[in-house]
Chains A and B, each alone.
Chain A
Amino acid sequence: MSDIELPESDATVSTETADGDDRPLRVESLTKTFGGILAVDSATFAVERGSITGLIGPNGAGKSTTFNLITGVHEPDSGRIYFDGEDITGLQPHRVAERGLVRTFQITRELGEMTVLENMLLAFQNQRGEALWRAVLPGVRGSVVDQERELLERAWETLELFEIDHLAHEEAGTLSGGQRKLLELSRALLTDPELLLLDEPMAGVNPTLEGKLLERIHDLTDRGYTFLIVEHDMDVIMENCERVIVMHQGSVLADGPPAAIQADERVIEAYLGGEV
């Protein structure tokens, strides 16, 4: 495992935003209502480059909705989302992902009747063979095959990194819950992301695997990747995140280093169900 090179993130070379602010993701007074329910209530926060930021909060605090708003699954009622200084509010999910803001899902969304390898290969951006004419026309197809071979090599490397290469030819639907989490994270990595939004990556993962997964995430942050993680396991959040954002009833309750969050009265109250 150790002799395998980690993929380099584009983020290592990416420039800082115009105003010298090195926070690739900024969310400003984001609001979303579903019917009469205020799911996200003018949430404002930012994520620093090369860091692991935790997003926590009791059930129904609006964490997943915030993820959905950032990644374009839902459109916010008001507020702005900036990624690398550019306004990405209301962009389609694939446009957001193209820019290097890639997510995983709380309930894994593996492509069940495709093999693990096919799942991985799908993730690469700008594949020549994704244009129908190149995929079909003789002659041009040669270049598609060449590229496929390279992509395959990178897919294998990443599968080895996450130690699921022995499952490569299995259909993704037959994988265990933990393996699916690994597949989703490794698949997300192959999109060449800058910032990864992980929605409960440790849920259903055994402690040994959890340790390995965290190790990977730390390695990746060292390489310039940025993580925003929703997680319910407080130990994981407090031990691994540089900053923690606490959401409660749709709005940001607290935002700071883990130690400060742990000492914050309001956070404790929110978790214990007290009056805020």
Chain B
Amino acid sequence: MTSDDVGDQDESRTQTREHEASQVATDGGTSATLPLETDAGARPRWQVDLGYIVLTTVAIYALITVLGLLTGLGVGGIFRQLQTVTFLAAAYALVVLALNLHWGYTGLFNIGVAGFMAVGAYGMAVLTAPPEGTTTPGLGLPLWIGIPFGVLLAGLVGLIVVLPALRIRADYFAIVTLAFAEVIRLTINSGALADFELLGRELGTGGGRGINFPLLESAIPRWVLYQGGDPAQGANVVGLQILTVTNQLGIERTVVESAVYTSILVVLVVIVFALLVRTANSPFGRLLKGIREDELATKSLGKNTDLVKIKVFVLGCAIMGLAGIFWQGRNGYVDPDAFLPIITFYIFIALIIGGSGSNTGSVVGALVFAGVLFEGPPYVQRIVTQQVDLPRPATVYDGVVALGAFDPLPLLGYFVGQLANVRFILFGVILILLMIYRPDGLLGHRSEPASPLHLSAEQSPADSRSAKRGGDDDGGDSSGGSDSDSDSDSDSAGVDTSTDNGDDDPLDSNPDDSTPDRGEPDE
């Protein structure tokens, strides 16, 4: 009993810390997604969606904490696990969001995700790796050049892939992307590009050796924490605040740095999420859905679907490149084996868990996949091996034989020892269960409006007319339609005008002339 009590206390303490952590995430979310509220009127929708995400995060954190505390893993171990999970979930969320843009929204069946992540990571690594002193020399350029270069390169490679692939059907498109991803990986792996000279500088992909580049996990946080990004020059304004607190708590600097790195990644995810939600809730998002549902029908409505597909594919690939950079940036080292096709399928599993076609679902799927399915089994394994001294038979056969002697422990021990591999079975089981019980993903069938307006709340003018007639009979029929219309959206309309006055958009200078006439230049 007493130990339980202590556990509970500990638990509540860690819970508070988690709350703070999730609070930070929520705050970040609020500030970044705030524009949604102002332009689309009262939209509790995004708050509900954010609620799902926060709820999932808290649930996973709680699960990890409770498991850790019950088995006495200690605060340090739990914290490390939480950090790993947060980082991995954020990295996954970024790339799952990009895949959702491709597959969930536009129906572009891209199964070469790992390849585009590799392009981003390698683009950055080749540029930023130190020119001397490592096995694979690079150009030694600063990160602020290297990271954008990696992102742009991933986008550019996306363009190269999508241009010839535009004319082919969805299933062939999938094969093209898969093949391209493998071509990228094998090219990087080959000796041909491992070392070469360009304009007198020696550089290369390093082949199977990989590339060492500045550890992003410490380099980026240092820019946040220290003056000039150099610890020797002392902390800057932000760093002083953070480091004072962490010093008092006795947390090591490397731990702080890696927490800052994860936080930056989380902020990136929030920004990308907000932008993609905006993209989805717009006429552009409508085009994407149209292409997914029936490209010929969309074309026949006068839409240049090829151009839209190019834009979306390049954008998604760039985000994948960014995710690749941050993912590998935690190691400061990248090699071709990090980008095996299995990575692509992990990302697909995460997207399917959350529900494709939904940005919220993408993030939830990434959280569940990274936090529970991927990191869960090794975590359990770690706890079990730390707590109990199980026999470790070399083969499953030994375990079964022991079972014959009514000793289940060897088999259990074997199972626990193999938990890291058992999770692959888990993925399969989860996918099958999802297909049967939640074919539309954890969040179920979602209808996110492909419009900046909250479409499902829009009432037919006829309905509102009749409602108005029922209400007061002297309301003129001729003006009934527009009156009732403005009634139903009065609050949002008010917000709109205020935003319009606030910005100096040239298009708003003549708000009366907004009929969708043909002559208007648009693109």
The chain A residues found within 8 Å of chain B, CB to CB, are 3, 10, 71, 73, 92-94, 97-98, 102-103, 105, 109-115, 117-118, 121-132, 135-136, 138-153, 156-157, 159-160, 165-166, 168-169, 171, 187-188, 191-192
Contacts and interface: CB of A to CB of B under 8 A. Distances in A.
A127 B505 contact: no
A197 to B, nearest CB: 10
A94 B460 contact: no
Interface stretch (B10-18, B189-197, B448-456): B448-456
B169 interface: no
Given A71-B300, A97-B299, A141-B278, A114 B290 contact: yes
Interface in B406-460: 447, 449-453, 455-456, 458, 460
A111 B511 contact: no
B300 A145 contact: no
Contact of A126 (B275, B299, B520): B520
Interface in B480-523: 485, 489, 493, 496, 499-500, 502-505, 507-508, 511, 514-518, 520, 522-523
Nearest to A123: B301
B453 A145 contact: yes
B294 A132 contact: no
B297 A111 contact: yes
B298 interface: yes
A102 B453 contact: no
Contacts of B453: 145, 148-149, 152
Interface of B: 35, 39-40, 275, 278-279, 282-287, 289-290, 292-294, 296-306, 311, 315, 357, 447, 449-453, 455-456, 458, 460-463, 477, 485, 489, 493, 496, 499-500, 502-505, 507-508, 511, 514-518, 520, 522-523
A113 B283 contact: no
Given A122-B298, A125-B302, A132-B279, A143 B522 contact: no
Contacts of A132: 279, 284, 311, 315
A135 B523 CA distance: 12
A122 B514 contact: no
A-B pairs, top 5 by smallest CB distance, nearest first, are A129-B283, A135-B282, A139-B503, A97-B302, A109-B297
B196 to A, nearest CB: 37
Contacts of A139: 499, 502-505
24 contacts: A73-B296, A92-B306, A94-B305, A111-B289, A111-B294, A114-B293, A118-B286, A121-B283, A121-B286, A126-B522, A130-B287, A131-B523, A135-B284, A136-B278, A138-B503, A143-B505, A144-B282, A145-B40, A145-B453, A146-B500, A146-B514, A156-B462, A160-B460, A169-B455
A147 B516 contact: yes
Given A98-B302, A128-B522, A118 B289 contact: yes
Given A128-B522, A146-B496, A135 B302 contact: no
B299 A92 contact: yes
Contacts of A122: 283, 286-287, 290, 298, 301, 303
A144 B302 contact: no
A230 to B, nearest CB: 15
A159 B462 CA distance: 10
Nearest to B38: A138
A126 B452 CA distance: 16
A163 to B, nearest CB: 10
Contacts of B299: 92-94, 97
B458 A117 contact: yes
Contacts of A93: 296, 299-300
A130 B283 contact: yes
B516 A130 contact: no
A138 B35 contact: yes
A131 B522 contact: yes
Given A122-B286, A191-B302, 18 more contacts: A3-B477, A94-B302, A94-B305, A97-B302, A109-B297, A111-B289, A112-B294, A114-B286, A115-B456, A117-B458, A132-B279, A135-B278, A142-B496, A142-B500, A148-B451, A149-B493, A153-B485, A165-B463
B511 A146 contact: yes
B304 A94 contact: yes
Contact of B460 (A109, A113, A159): A159
A131 B308 CA distance: 9
A16 to B, nearest CB: 19
A171 B448 CA distance: 12
Nearest to B498: A142
B32 to A, nearest CB: 11
Contacts of B297: 105, 109-111
B293 A111 contact: yes
Given A131-B523, A153-B461, A191-B301, A121 B518 contact: no
Nearest to B277: A136
A97 B300 contact: yes
Contacts of B357: 113
A146 B495 CA distance: 12
B104 to A, nearest CB: 11
A145 B289 contact: no
Nearest to B517: A126
A128 B493 CA distance: 18
B315 to A, nearest CB: 8
A166 B462 CA distance: 9
Contact of B461 (A103, A109, A156, A188): A156
Nearest to A10: B518
A160 B458 CA distance: 14
Contacts of B522: 126-128, 130-131
Contacts of A191: 301-302
A42 B514 CA distance: 45
Scoring A122, A143, A157 by chain B CB atoms within 10 A of each residue's CB, the highest score goes to A122
Contacts of B302: 94, 97-98, 102, 125, 191
B283 A128 contact: yes
A64 B233 CA distance: 75
A160 B461 contact: yes
Scoring A71, A114, A160, A191 by chain B CB atoms within 10 A of each residue's CB, the highest score goes to A114
A138 B36 CA distance: 9
A117 B432 CA distance: 34
A237 B504 CA distance: 55
Nearest to B455: A117
B279 A136 contact: yes
A168 B296 CA distance: 22
Contacts of B292: 113
Contact of B282 (A123, A136, A168): A136
A84 to B, nearest CB: 13
A130 B283 CA distance: 5
A151 B516 contact: yes
Contacts of B520: 126
Scoring B279, B286, B294 by chain A CB atoms within 10 A of each residue's CB, the highest score goes to B286
